[in-house]
């Protein structure tokens, strides 16, 4: 028994996928495997059964146990890595692809203002995409402004990698906030003005059909020419979607041709703790890859900025501005995704910081764009 415990303390075991993977249908095991031998978890051993066991217990406590890192998940088909250019507009609005809803899951807690859902769509491998691209969705029904015509296409950033949440290249996931309208006078919800597409998606059931177009977009593609690059990601709300895809590719999936060794730094701005999206996944990356991932949250209804006002994502950027500017000077990529209202405050902050550093923000921004370090997708 002492030998087994010694082995536990001296090696870094590969354990099964974490809780966030349970939803994908993968089996999670509690046992550890070393060289094809099965070891029972330490928690199931009765360490109080004998004097020798007590000695053994003391021995284990004094050892330095290496942190266990979750195994990366195998993905398929690896042919999805072969294309030199991203797929673009494989399905146009006049000839959309009819896909199938796999699942719809509420992402936020009871105290979140509004509802945000994670929608998994089965495209059967017929609408491939790259991380950072978008799908168009055509909700059922007719366009009220053009009777007899279908609704206009609504674009949604894809929240999964090209392999999807089931790691088989056949699904895509969307992060959708249900759009509702409240009458400013009565304070009551007016269903006639609700968002047609977001409500269709959040109300969908497994097996429902959905018409999709695309994929589209190149500005938010993840540059992979340097696997040791720095990527600074700034999101508000559902703008975290493309970044979830990036991070799963970097830290969750075993992609033979892409082994990330750089720094990924995520800033996420939401209203409160209940509004955090994919928080468990991000926290797991923090535990497993502390040298490669940083995660900062701006909770506007729970945190205060240095002036005592609400903490918005631009306040977090200002907090780390010296570091961010140094990383940008070193070639880091910076990405912004979310509501377009986020950008003026962020731009003002960056301009103020640049001036404090004796730099011209306009010149710096121009250089970042020229170097293809600046990526913005707002809606």
Confidence bin at 183 (pLDDT 50/70/90)? confident
- Known catalytic residue at 359: no
Q: Indicate which residue of 156, 163, 246, 278 is catalytic.
A: 156
> Is 300 annotated to bind ligand?
yes
Q: Does residue 19 have a pLDDT over 80?
A: no
pLDDT of residue 67: 58
pLDDT of 287 over the 90 cut: yes
The strand pairing partners of 172, in sequence order, are 121
The question of whether 320 is a catalytic residue gets the answer no
| Residues 6 or more apart in contact with residue 305 via CB below 8 angstroms | 311, 312, 315
Mean pLDDT of 7-25: 39
What's the Rg (C-alpha) of the chain? Answer: 24
Residue 273 is labelled as binding a ligand: no
Phi, psi of 306 (to 5 degrees): -65, -20
Would you call 377 a catalytic residue per the annotation? Answer: yes
- Supply φ then ψ for residue 44, to 5 degrees: -90, 0
Alpha-carbon gap, residue 171 to 164, rounded angstroms: 5
Token pair recorded at residue 192: 């006639």
Q: What is the pLDDT of residues 124-141, one digit of tens each?
A: 999 999 999 999 999 999
pLDDT digits (tens, 9 = 90+) for 91-104: 999 999 999 999 99
- What rounded mean pLDDT belongs to the chain? 86
> Which residues, listed in sequence order, are joined to residue 263 by a DSSP beta bridge?
230
Residue 59 pLDDT level (bands cut at 50, 70, 90): very low
Q: Does 339 count as an annotated binding residue?
A: yes
The pair of structure tokens assigned to 364 is 């710096």
Does 157 belong to an annotated binding site? yes
Burial grade of 361 (CB within 10 A; 0-12, 13-18, 19 or more): middle
Q: For strand 333-338 and strand 230-236, is the pairing parallel, antiparallel, or unpaired?
A: parallel
| Annotated active-site residue in 117, 129, 134, 157 | 157
Q: Is 103 known to sit in a ligand binding site?
A: no
User: Does residue 224 have an active-site annotation?
Assistant: no
d(CA 165, CA 176): 16
Residues 206-232 have a mean pLDDT of: 97
Known active-site residue 337: yes
Q: Give the helix/strand (H/E) hosting 8.
A: helix 2-10
Residue whose tokens read 């005592």? 308
Q: What is the pTM of this model?
A: 0.81
Sheet holding 32-34, edge to edge: 37-39, 32-34, 14-15, 69-70
Residue 310 labeled ligand binder:
yes
Report residue 13's pLDDT band, with 50, 70 and 90 as the boundaries.
very low
HSE-CB at 344 with a 13 A cutoff on CA atoms is: 2
Higher model confidence: residue 194 or residue 369? 369
Residue owning tokens 């999964």: 160
Q: Residues 6 or more apart from 252 whose CB is under 8 A from it?
A: 21, 72, 73, 281, 285
State yes or no: 301 annotated in a binding site.
yes
For residue 181, what pLDDT is reported? Answer: 79
377 is in an annotated binding site: yes
How confident is the model over 332-367, as pLDDT tens digits? 999 999 999 999 999 999 999 999 999 999 999 999
pLDDT per residue as tens digits for the range 140-158: 999 988 999 999 999 999 9
């Amino acid at each position: 028994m002492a030998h087994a415990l010694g082995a536990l303390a001296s090696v870094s075991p590969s354990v099964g996928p974490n809780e966030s993977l349970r939803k994908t249908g993968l089996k999670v095991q509690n046992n550890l495997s070393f060289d094809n031998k099965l070891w029972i978890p330490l928690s199931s051993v009765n360490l109080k059964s004998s004097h020798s066991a007590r000695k053994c217990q003391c021995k284990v406590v004094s050892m330095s146990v290496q942190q266990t890192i979750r195994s990366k998940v195998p993905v398929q088909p690896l042919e999805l890595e072969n294309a030199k250019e991203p797929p673009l507009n494989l399905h146009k609005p006049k000839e959309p692809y009819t896909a199938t809803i796999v699942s719809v899951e509420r992402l936020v807690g009871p105290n979140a203002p509004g509802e945000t859902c994670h929608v998994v769509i089965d495209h059967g491998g017929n609408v491939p995409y790259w991380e950072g691209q978008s799908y168009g969705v055509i909700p059922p029904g007719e366009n009220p402004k053009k009777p007899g015509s279908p609704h206009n296409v609504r674009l949604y950033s894809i929240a999964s990698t090209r392999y999807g949440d089931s790691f088989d290249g056949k699904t895509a996931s969307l992060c959708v906030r249900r759009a509702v309208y409240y009458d400013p006078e009565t304070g009551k919800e007016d269903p006639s003005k609700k968002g047609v597409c977001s409500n269709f998606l959040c109300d969908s059931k497994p097996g429902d059909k959905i018409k999709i177009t695309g994929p589209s977009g190149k500005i938010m593609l993840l540059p992979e020419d340097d696997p040791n690059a720095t990527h600074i990601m700034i999101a508000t709300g559902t703008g975290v979607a493309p970044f979830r895809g990036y991070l799963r590719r970097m830290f969750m999936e075993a992609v033979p041709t892409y082994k990330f060794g750089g720094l990924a730094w995520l800033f996420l701005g939401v209203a409160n703790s209940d509004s955090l999206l994919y928080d468990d996944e991000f926290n797991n990356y923090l535990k497993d890859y502390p040298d490669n991932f940083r995660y900062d949250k701006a909770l506007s209804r729970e945190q205060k900025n240095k002036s005592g006002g609400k903490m918005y994502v631009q306040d977090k950027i200002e907090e780390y501005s010296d570091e961010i500017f140094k990383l940008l000077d070193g070639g880091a990529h910076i990405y912004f995704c979310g509501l377009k209202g986020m950008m003026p405050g962020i731009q003002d902050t960056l301009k103020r910081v640049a001036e404090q550093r004796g730099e011209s923000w306009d010149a710096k921004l121009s250089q970042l764009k020229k170097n293809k370090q600046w990526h913005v997708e707002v809606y």
